[in-house]
């Protein structure tokens, strides 16, 4: 689980780098899809060996799919927003 997470991020990064000059999907919808990928990936990491094992396949599929479809930098910023949303969810549940 812990090894799979960096490998998935590295694979997505390589996909985005190779496809950066191709015309791909752009816009706010793809920013939201990147946000969902970031949320699922970080949530699967936080939940670890409990429910995280069930979430990882879906998170990986979404991450690799969106990396192939929308490899542009403005949209990929949504990944960081998804991680921030996971942190906000944890804070909200613990207060």
Rounded to whole angstroms, how far apart are CA atoms 12 and 67?
6
Query: pLDDT for 18-28, tens place per residue?
Result: 887 877 778 89
Rounded to whole angstroms, how far apart are CA atoms 14 and 68?
10
pLDDT at 37: 95
Distances (CA, A) of 59 to 23, 30, 52, 95: 24, 15, 10, 27
As a whole number, the mean pLDDT across the chain is 90
What's this model's pTM, rounded to 2 decimal places? 0.89
């Amino acid at each position: 689980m812990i090894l799979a997470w960096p490998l998935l991020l590295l694979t997505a990064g390589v996909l985005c780098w190779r496809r950066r000059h191709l015309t791909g999907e752009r816009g706010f919808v793809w920013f939201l899809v990147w946000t969902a990928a970031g949320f699922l990936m970080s949530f699967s990491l936080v939940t670890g060996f409990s429910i995280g094992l069930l979430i990882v396949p879906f998170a990986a599929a979404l991450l690799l799919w969106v990396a192939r479809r929308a490899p542009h930098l403005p949209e990929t910023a949504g990944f960081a927003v998804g991680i921030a949303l996971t942190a906000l969810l944890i804070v909200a549940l613990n207060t």
